[in-house]
Amino acid sequence: MAMTVGGDGGDEEVVSSINTTPLVDVMLVLLIIFLITIPVVTQTVPVKLPSETNIARQTKPENIEISVSKDGDVYWNTQLVPDNNLLVEKLKKVAVMKPQPEVHIRGDQETRYESVGRVIFAAQRAAIMKISFVTQPPAKG
């Protein structure tokens, strides 16, 4: 650290340069504090997240295709199901079969989540054990 002390006589010069050493010291201390505290702040609950798998669908005649249009209309294979209670009754009839068929839900890309949620809730009320969502596979390349 340099300092100008009274010198030869009466000619005192004004030092116009800024001493940046304290500023650099403070910045380095702040950098070290941030480097130490960031890992402590970003702790999360350890969970194992599912990985994405794209399994080819096994189309069997006993599987049930339920389609939900973008307007919220529900179709059992190709027949319109006008009421959610009717859907539950149809699913209850199928739920007692051995082996229980799978339910494949095909939801339109623009469908509200509420419409698909009603179909899932109906399958849950009917005690369906296996529900799958049919999606469009991503383009290769």
**pLDDT digit string (tens) for 22-79?**
899 999 999 998 888 877 666 666 766 666 566 666 667 678 889 999 888 999 988 9
The reported pLDDT for the residue numbered 18 is: 82
The reported pLDDT for the residue numbered 88 is: 93
Q: Is the pLDDT of residue 6 over 60?
A: no
Q: Which long-range contacts (CB under 8 A, 24 or more apart) does 52-55 make?
A: 54/137
CB 119 within 8 A of CB 68: yes
The reported pLDDT for the residue numbered 75 is: 92
The reported pLDDT for the residue numbered 49 is: 62
- List, in order of start, the domains of the chain with CATH numbers: 64-133 (3.30.420.270)
